[in-house]
Amino acid sequence: MKQIFSIIAISLLLLSACKTKDIAETNATETQTDQLYACSMHPEVIGKKGEKCSKCSMKLTVPVKEDAPETTIADTTATAPTTDKTSITTTPSKISIKGLLDPYIQLKNAFTKDNSNDAAKAGKALEAAFKSFDKSALSVEQKKTFDDIEEDAREHAEHIGANAGKIAHQREHFDMLSKDMYDLVKAFGAGQTLYKDFCPMYNDNKGAIWLSESKEIKNPYYGKSMLTCGSMKEELK
């Protein structure tokens, strides 16, 4: 009889241990799936990865830190951290990104002339260039770097292409796109001489960069109204 009670007691202990393990694994899985993402243009808008921003319809791609402060905007509960892609340290390779830089330069030049329609055409050309870019020669590390930049850049190019006639909105996306293109050049090299220029007044005096093929300052954010506003900050090769 004592043996029977012993067997029953051991069985109950094993059953309890299995349940505890299952609960722990379930909690771990739930924690992994609780990761939230924010919009790169509107970091206060968060949700699941791939969902669209309620303000600009861009996909949510920026991971939100667990200790991010709460926000009351929309249905969000946290503010996304600002990601600094300029910290990319990938050594520039011999991979040519000229096919991506050419439509970007056309886009920049359209904005300097306040030409929203030409900017839209260049935005569509840049989006197409990203889609057709040959990644077969990229290493695993290079491909990861490229994909991280491309996801944002393509969306900004797409929005510029889809918003002909709304130049203010297009320029907002150009601001973010220029940061992506700068990161791309730093990671893979320009293959030509380019200049990183800076406008201190755009975006409520927060400033914005752009890439140019010429040392001459021609501001794409204000166009003809303040064409020479800005300064050259860095020469890129």
Give per-residue pLDDT as tens, 87-121.
444 444 568 999 999 999 999 999 999 999 999 99
| Whole-angstrom Cα Rg for the chain | 24
Closest CA to 155 of 35, 52, 78: 52
Report the predicted TM-score, pTM, of the whole model to 2 decimal places: 0.68
Model pLDDT for residues 128-137, shown as the tens digit of each residue: 999 999 999 9
Model pLDDT for residues 151-165, shown as the tens digit of each residue: 999 999 999 999 999
User: Are 211 and 194 spatial neighbours (Cβ–Cβ below 8 Å)?
Assistant: yes
* Edge-to-edge strand list for the sheet holding 62-63: 46-47, 37-38, 62-63
Rounded to whole angstroms, the Cα distance separating 14 from 175 reads 60
